[in-house]
Structure 1
């Protein structure tokens, strides 16, 4: 995490230094860049957490109905000196779970489909994985990385504008350059995300005393997501068949931004794997069982 933080800070420092050099070597410009960057990341963090919970319709998990889950989370939190996160439940249409927030103020969301699908030890493995994300401050790290990527992209755009003729061609060139620079930084951020998934798996393995329960859970989750995708395709084909219009009926599934937080990500192609927030499922299972 120290290495990750140092590299992210290096990206940020280059962006601020470039802004200072090209837009005026004054302390006010540097201070404005720093304050603006902090505010941007903070706003993204607050809005992102709220939007993720709202998009899946997350509700508080009743302690009486889900007593075993609450007891397991309390036990893990005592062992890791972690404040118990808020536990919520949602109907996502797929078996999945995700965590948002920071250490001391986190939230774990579990889908009803996941609770119905998994055995108790498998469910505990998934929840332990999400608790590890909160304990390791992974959500904040990723939010910080995304914020820095946005800042670097904006600075790159302004550098192109201020060093060119400031005409229409430079305007479009600035947009292209800014997006390419941001994409490059995001590739690094996404690589961090995939690495942190392995770390959370390893932490969960230690918490529950073995990797097989979580490995079995990942297998079931992967199969459940495939079945849900097939059902959505069938609904889509059926909707197009009725008068040539696709049915607007909700068919389940998770919002793309929320899926980045979930324990499972259904990316298959080479390009999808490159820009995925999660490593391949088969590699995660293999590591858990090794």
Structure 2
């Protein structure tokens, strides 16, 4: 079985988030919401958040379709990698992000890979292929769905905590402030479980890419992206940044809640990994 560690982490985190979700449903029923309405709302919310999360990520960077006649090398590389991964070719989009970056959204059979124009100008062919392989690995490993849904559930729990406290019977400005603080705490606790797989999934995608393109190409790509990324002025949405190959440099405190592992550790992990021929 491939990537047992990642699958085990996703199963555990998914179960915990589902538990949070069911607890919220039980609370809603305790306040008088009908069972049918709660079940219907649960299904509709999950579907809406998946679709909305994908749409919002693409819209936030103004991603546009990547014409094959203008970017033939990118399309050819993706087609080769998809053949090796036994993966249906995802839709390819291009965006001006202000920084060299890339991210993937969606699932197998309905995935989208977004590549910034800055990234294509920065990297050599092998390095760009490594980044493309990294993003395809996320779709292949199905970890993108876990990230998007995890972020959505955490946000929902935060909103629920706010409204439950801020609009309680007592009311008042004190409850509004307390509700705001509670929403941050609850959302942060839920995100701890999402972050438990976020950093690990980056190592797995790096390793997958290294085995398809070569570890040195992956390492060089990461090094160039991180160097250029720290000089960039663009600020990506936090949810999109969590999906990107490079999440930005963080302070010591911010690293505790970072979505990406330190770039130097990622480079060290893939450097020298031999390419496997399929």
TM-score normalized with structure 1 length: 0.80
* 1:148-187 correspondence runs (5 A): 148-157=153-162, 160=165, 165-168=169-172, 169-187=174-192
1:218-274 Cα deviation digits (max 9, x unpaired): 00001111222xxx4xxxxxxxxxxxxxxxxxxx55444432221111132123212
Aligned equivalent of 1:237: none
Aligned equivalent of 1:236: none
Aligned mates of 2:64, 2:179 — CA distance in 1? 43
1:203 aligns with 2:208: yes
User: Which of 97, 101, 109 in structure 2 is aligned with 1:104?
Assistant: 109
User: Which of 49, 54, 57 in structure 2 is aligned with 1:52?
Assistant: 57
1:115 aligns with 2:123: no
Aligned mates of 1:203, 1:134 — CA distance in 2? 12
Q: Once the 2 structures are TM-superposed, how far is the Cα of residue 201 of structure 1 from its aligned partner?
A: 1.2
Q: Once the 2 structures are TM-superposed, how far is the Cα of residue 192 of structure 1 from its aligned partner?
A: 2.0
Inter-CA distance 80–37: structure 2 relative to 1 (3 Å threshold): same
Q: Once the 2 structures are TM-superposed, how far is the Cα of residue 277 of structure 1 from its aligned partner?
A: 1.8
Aligned equivalent of 1:8: 17
Q: Secondary structure at the match of 1:127?
A: helix
Q: Once the 2 structures are TM-superposed, how far is the Cα of residue 138 of structure 1 from its aligned partner?
A: 2.0
Inter-CA distance 176–93: structure 2 relative to 1 (3 Å threshold): closer
1:226 aligns with 2:234: no
Aligned mates of 2:113, 2:42 — CA distance in 1? 28
Aligned mates of 2:86, 2:261 — CA distance in 1? 28
User: Which of 134, 139, 142 in structure 2 is aligned with 1:134?
Assistant: 139
| Structure 1: gaps of 5 or more residues | 233-251
Aligned equivalent of 1:38: 43
Aligned equivalent of 1:217: 221
Bigger radius of gyration among the two: 1
Asked if structure 2 preserves the Cα contact closer than 8 Å seen for 1:18 and 1:155, the reply is: no
1:147-191 Cα deviation digits (max 9, x unpaired): 2223333444465579x7533244443332233112211122123
Q: Once the 2 structures are TM-superposed, how far is the Cα of residue 35 of structure 1 from its aligned partner?
A: 2.6
Inter-CA distance 224–16: structure 2 relative to 1 (3 Å threshold): same
Aligned equivalent of 1:267: 249
Aligned mates of 2:115, 2:255 — CA distance in 1? 25
Asked if structure 2 preserves the Cα contact closer than 8 Å seen for 1:92 and 1:111, the reply is: yes
1:16-62 Cα deviation digits (max 9, x unpaired): 33444x425xxx63443333233233333323322332332322222
Asked if structure 1 preserves the Cα contact closer than 8 Å seen for 2:230 and 2:249, the reply is: no
Asked if structure 1 preserves the Cα contact closer than 8 Å seen for 2:13 and 2:193, the reply is: no
Q: Secondary structure at the match of 2:34?
A: helix
